[in-house]
Amino acid sequence: MKEQFYAYIQNLQDQIVAGLEAVEGKAKFREDLWDRPEGGGGRTRVIENGKVFEKGGVNISAVHGKLPEAMQKMFNVGEADFFACGLSLVLHPKNPMVPTVHANWRYFEMYDDNGNVIQQWFGGGQDLTPYYLFEEDAVHFHQTCKTACEKHNPEFYPKYKKQCDAYFWNAHRNEARGIGGLFFDYRKATDDMTMENWFDFVSEVGNSFLEAYVPIVEKRKQLPYTPEQRTWQEIRRGRYVEFNLVHDKGTLFGLKTNGRIESILMSLPPKVQWVYDHHPEAGSEEEKLVNVLENPKNWIAD
């Protein structure tokens, strides 16, 4: 399974980068290959200072070796060997009318002393973080997620949408990071779902990413915006940074397994503001967004 999934994310990285470069029209992704001293490495692809994307990355990695002590405590196990691979992407557009997007699809194995697999699971999802709320964009993104899920199980979309709202929650701000999407983790083999079934599901979601995001970018990338709207975007980006550094499991896993720091922190936007005790003007488009973030809604009717 690990060879199968790693081959899949290598191909998916190529597809997503090609699709995003076509939308960007100016900048190209720069590639960095890196090795992890303890075992494994990755292929980081980053775009900066584009016409559409101010900063972004589409990264893959496959790391292995001894499970670090911090992760042993997290998984409640003793010494063990592990393998983990995944694709992680974040895109921060220049125009505040275009939403930031994040996606991640990953696979994990852990072994006993004889090299036998004792645990294995999939995780991942994709979520949207707008700065100005266009409800038709939210519906499109969620409908694409729902369509991918329903090819495998009609219960997946409502379940993983709810998990996404719960996971991407900035508890210290009492608001969501964005308008959600899908989030699932520790998806293991059961009587109803084999690991091959989970692979098929995860790859279905991964393959839907460009369809979910690119039409939104195409629709919004040339809309006019003011300096004040750009300031709002940078303030909201600050909340994005807060979540990634305080709550995100992927960031913490990378830091605790001696991952490549440049690849891990690729998710952080280049220009951010923290304004003391900032509140949007009553009745404004900015307040409309905050109200939705404080009370996540269902974008697709049952």
What are the residues facing 47 on neighbouring strands?
56
Helix (H) or strand (E) segment spanning residue 250: helix 249-256
Taking CA 67 as the corner, what is the angle to CA 82 and CA 187, rounded to the nearest 5 degrees? Answer: 50
Q: What is the DSSP string of 267-292?
A: GS-SS----TT--PPTTSHHHHHHHH
Return the number of other C-beta atoms located less than 10 Å from residue 3's C-beta: 9
Nearest by Cα to 125 from 156, 93, 169, 94: 156
Tokens coding 86: 């995944």
Q: Buried (b) or exposed (e) across 46-70, using 16+ Cβ within 10 A? A: bbeebebbbbbbbbbbbbbbebeee
Report phi then psi at 9, rounded to 5: -70, -25
Q: Reply yes or no on whether 102 is catalytic.
A: yes
Residue 144: CB atoms within 10 Å: 22
Catalytic residue among 102, 140, 142, 152: 102
- Which region holds residue 223: left if phi is over 0, alpha if psi is between -120 and 50, else beta? beta
DSSP secondary structure letters along 145-178: HHHHHHTT-TTHHHHHHHHHHHHTEETTTTEESS
List active site positions: 102
